[in-house]
Chain A
């Protein structure tokens, strides 16, 4: 429906969390009838404690210590080096450098990928990823799982859970990891949310939206903007669907929601920006990009769109007593009806959008979107946010300006491949010097931590059902889940500055800190303990049904810890110090490289190494043999899995890991 829940309260499933850790829960909440459950979902599922409150209105909030926040004059002209081109042959000098790049560009770094990067160049790796086709769309996956048949349509037409499965499945297992990573970042800029998605075939609509983000992740921003604007999911979420022209008789005005947010959030932001992302200052003040009148005028452009409710587009699903929209509408652009479109002139953005009265509606839409796309703010506004999502919360103005130059292009404006290359190949992203900058990096988002764990340890759904649902609960789960932003303002704002920190002293944003609080830090640590040893439970994994079945929680999402287990190679019942050291050393080294890109401090490394070594040398009670024993290659696997889990767990709660640098 709209951008309602700017700050949804955390919802605790039960009264007190003052209870021992729950047994591993299936990651799926049954929603037998989502027509009624969906509104509850708007309250319960959007349960992130993200506050859009202290927020930044867009790119304007990125005042870094080196920004122009103090000056009344434009920054002195600096000759900016051009963005790094995709044909650079810059190579990783170490495995750690390669892992760092991979963790920025995608979700994880496997030994094979590290070798691939080291064997060619950063740019070659990106070119290879840019060239990977979308092997399977989310829409196609839904069909393979039996969710797209009219025969079972009544079970899935009001079901959003199937889209959660789809997106998690793709995040965990799709081969085109860079594309998936970029699509997820885009889903946090052009936000739609299950929190308000009360439409027919809602799971399909969000999946189709996910497919749009994937389709254009390596395409052109202008095409992305148009497909997003006309998508069924966005049409519902920000009210373009059903938006009609003004009516003097009833006093009805065009709905302004999309017109406002497409400017504030998806393209240009609130204040005019320099190419380096700092705000333009005139007369001592920032220059606003648009006025309330601009919003009212632009709103006219987005009138006349609706789903296709014609008889030919309706279907009677077995078991239902009424007609519904045929499923395919959820991936089609909304239908334009000229009679509902405002024919008034539109003059907005200081003449950048100038549409004469009586212009054809579809032509008016293209004129408006082009006007937005051509606005000089788009490069720094979108570019800086993509840097924040992929690399660092506080890029230097020079870094932003190089990405802006890539967006503005050499002939082609808005080429996403050029933008992403500029972001990921930039000296600032690649230089090791930054690692010692105390303000450098970003907090890894909770959902990225989970996917990194999954990809690093090669999880798969044994049944292929990938029944991972909404992980938004702030007290018992990750506190973040794809397409569960509490509002169109995302889980956190690009300009959020955590109060009472060194970052605040420097007025340095740390967006992800907006969902870090006394509740979520503990919930995250507890959540890790639920699945670290052997994977995630799902409910009734061998069935495609989303209905909850009691007693059928099963371990279906399983990691492959065989390499880690192999580090305990000694067979001696009482391992020597040297044997324990060797095993712990190999494992700690692997954790440092694959999870932290070699960025563990020596103190953290030693803490983890020492704990892993101690765990081998100390006696443990073995329930089966009823004896104390030490870990060796013949110890029952469940005890050795605890050792593996302990190493990963300690790594994933360490500050060294939580801040990606």
Chain B
């Protein structure tokens, strides 16, 4: 049986039912969360804190030019197939990674990723090769099989929005619960009355951070937006438009939670959360904000917001995450999951022109973020990891690449067993779907990678580090039960699919 319907999981179903029973479904802890907390890692005294930061690269990152084949033989093959969108080998020397995969393959990061390749070589960052959504361990033969009952595939492969959703929630379109939010569900109790600040998005509304109870709370990269016309209390008018009575009315209308229409109720619930929390967060991060000249205090001054004429919105977002982490004591939180994102990766065209700035922004933002956590003394308590809709084709479509499946990703933090490559180095092929040549055995046409590590394994490794016990992992990651037993042998090589990988110090 392949567990592709999260609802079927008793824990999740239980949580979901409970959430529905709760009067508001709000992020306030139920007794149940407190009991769950006893299952998880100790939340004892001291600076017991952990944070996970999902760095989502929107549009499908071209992983072939992010983690680039570098040993001479592989690079030659990469260059032969990619032609005009390949990066010349001599440009890669400065960002080469000091690690060798089991098959002898070596890699370099994109030439503009100086910071991250440095973190890799100093042991603070790792690379996970060829990861992507899978229902179960899958070979190309299984992919090509017409028996989808025995060989299930993730739905809606190659589609942007659905694969984003699957990476974040194991389900396509319309999904309402993500694994980041489920991690939050486990930690709500530990965060006590401050549980609203468990799952924080510094980008838009994303399913990743929505749990059965945990709310995906949204903060702008400049902090929360204060609503000036909503007074501070029911007895203190804002004098909106200059009228005392109008000020009172603003507050009562905007915070009216007693609505019958579900749309009205859903909208006002957001306003109620925003108003109830803005003062708390603002006060907490107040000491971390820029002065009137726009200069941030140490250690939040490491981020380069501007890159010539361009902003680096990822840096702005990650600085806000760092500021929130720096404010963890005053916010009263012990476990947090964050999400940030950068757009622009769907490089069907102009890949050569546009990729360098994108990769530099990713590298600069993630490097500055890690360096900030070092100064905050929480580097080993904070892990940032990349994800993207999908990888891309190895083939060149003229001046770009098209949608793919598996991709290479980067994990950064003091608890990462860095300086190493995890997963399996895929052969470089772009033969047809029917090709059975050795170099084509892990791709499904035009070099689209068939993943050898699933998102569930990637996520389970992070979740375990975060404090979720092994037995609870399948309740968060519905396909994980299909992993961990047995192996696949392809072309004489054995591929293992353990429930968790080894890239984190647990």
Q: Are B244 and A1 in contact (CB under 8 A)?
A: no
Q: Which of B287-314 contact A (CB under 8 A)?
A: 289-290, 294, 296, 309-311, 313-314
Is A18 a contact of B282 with CB atoms below 8 Å? yes
Are A650 and B159 within 8 A (Cβ)? no
Given A1-B350, A8-B343, A500-B215, check contact A514 B164 (CB 8 Å).
no
Nearest CB in chain A to that of B320: its residue:
A12
Cα distance, A507 to B262, chains bound together (Å): 12
- The interface bits of chain A over 237-259 (1 if a CB of B lies within 8 angstroms of the residue's CB, else 0) are 00100111000001111111100
Chain B CB within 8 A of A20 CB: yes
- 22 chain-A/chain-B pairs, Cβ below 8 angstroms: A9-B314, A18-B223, A18-B282, A39-B357, A53-B168, A53-B207, A260-B403, A443-B263, A474-B204, A493-B173, A502-B266, A503-B263, A516-B266, A516-B270, A518-B278, A519-B219, A526-B226, A608-B253, A611-B246, A611-B249, A639-B242, A659-B264
A43 and B398 contacting across the interface, CB-CB below 8 Å: no
Other-chain residue from B159, B213, B433 in contact with A264 (beta carbon distance below 8 A) = B159
- For chain A, give the interface size range: 35 or more
Contact A517 B204 (CB under 8 A): yes
CB distance from A239 to the nearest CB of B (A): 5
**Bound: A639/B242 CA distance, A:** 9
Q: Would A40 and B310 count as touching, CB distance under 8 A?
A: yes
Query: Given A18-B226, A653-B253, are A8 and B313 neighbors across the interface (CB < 8 Å)?
Result: yes
User: Which of the four size classes fits the interface of chain B?
Assistant: 35 or more
With A54-B176, A519-B218 given, is the CB distance from A251 to B267 under 8 Å?
no
1/0 per position for A38-52, CB-CB distance to B under 8 A?
011011101111111
Quote the shortest CB–CB distance from A193 to chain B (angstroms). Answer: 11
Would you give the shortest CB distance from A116 to chain B, in whole angstroms?
29
**For window 213-256 of chain B, which residues contact chain A by CB distance below 8 Å?**
213, 215-230, 240-246, 248-250, 252-254, 256
The answer, yes or no, to whether A499 is at the interface (CB within 8 Å) is: yes
Q: Does B402 sit at the interface, judged by CB under 8 A?
A: yes
Interface: B261 (CB within 8 A):
yes
A624 at the interface (CB under 8 A from B): no
Among residues of B, the one whose C-beta sits closest to the C-beta of A48 is B204
Check A20–B349 contact: CB distance below 8 A: no
When the two chains form the complex, which single residue of B219, B229, B273 contacts A526, counting CB atoms closer than 8 Å? B229
* Chain B residues numbered 325-382 whose CB sits less than 8 Å from any CB in chain A: 340-350, 354, 357
A residues less than 8 Å from B248 (CB atoms):
611
Q: Give A615's nearest chain B residue, CB to CB.
A: B243
- Of all chain A residues, the one with the shortest Cβ separation from B173 is A56
Determine if A17 and B226 form an interchain contact, defined as CB atoms under 8 angstroms apart.
yes
**Within the assembled complex, what's the spacing in Å between the Cα atoms of A76 and B453?**
43
Other 10 A-B pairs with CB < 8 A, given A37-B309, A529-B240: A6-B164, A9-B340, A15-B289, A43-B344, A49-B204, A54-B174, A252-B395, A612-B246, A646-B241, A653-B254
Q: Whole-angstrom distance between the alpha carbons of A545 and B274 in the complex? A: 39
Asked if A12 meets B241 with Cβ closer than 8 Å, knowing A51-B205, A239-B348, A493-B173, the reply is no
Contact with A along B196-208 (1 / 0, CB 8 A): 0000011111111
Chain B residues with CB under 8 A of A612 = 246
B456 beta carbon closer than 8 Å to chain A: no
B204 touches A8 (CB 8 A): yes
Contact of A633 with B by CB under 8 A = no
Q: Is B177 an interface residue (CB 8 A)?
A: yes
B183 to chain A, nearest CB (A): 15
Contacting pair A50 B260 (CB below 8 A): no
State in angstroms the CA–CA spacing of A517 and B402 once bound together. 32
Residues of the B chain whose Cβ atoms lie less than 8 Å from the Cβ of A61: 173-174
> Is the beta-carbon distance between B311 and A518 smaller than 8 angstroms?
no
B9 within 8 A of A: no
Residue A211 lies at the interface, judged by CB distance under 8 Å to chain B = no
Contact bitstring A278-304, B, C-beta under 8 A = 1, else 0: 000000000010001101100000000
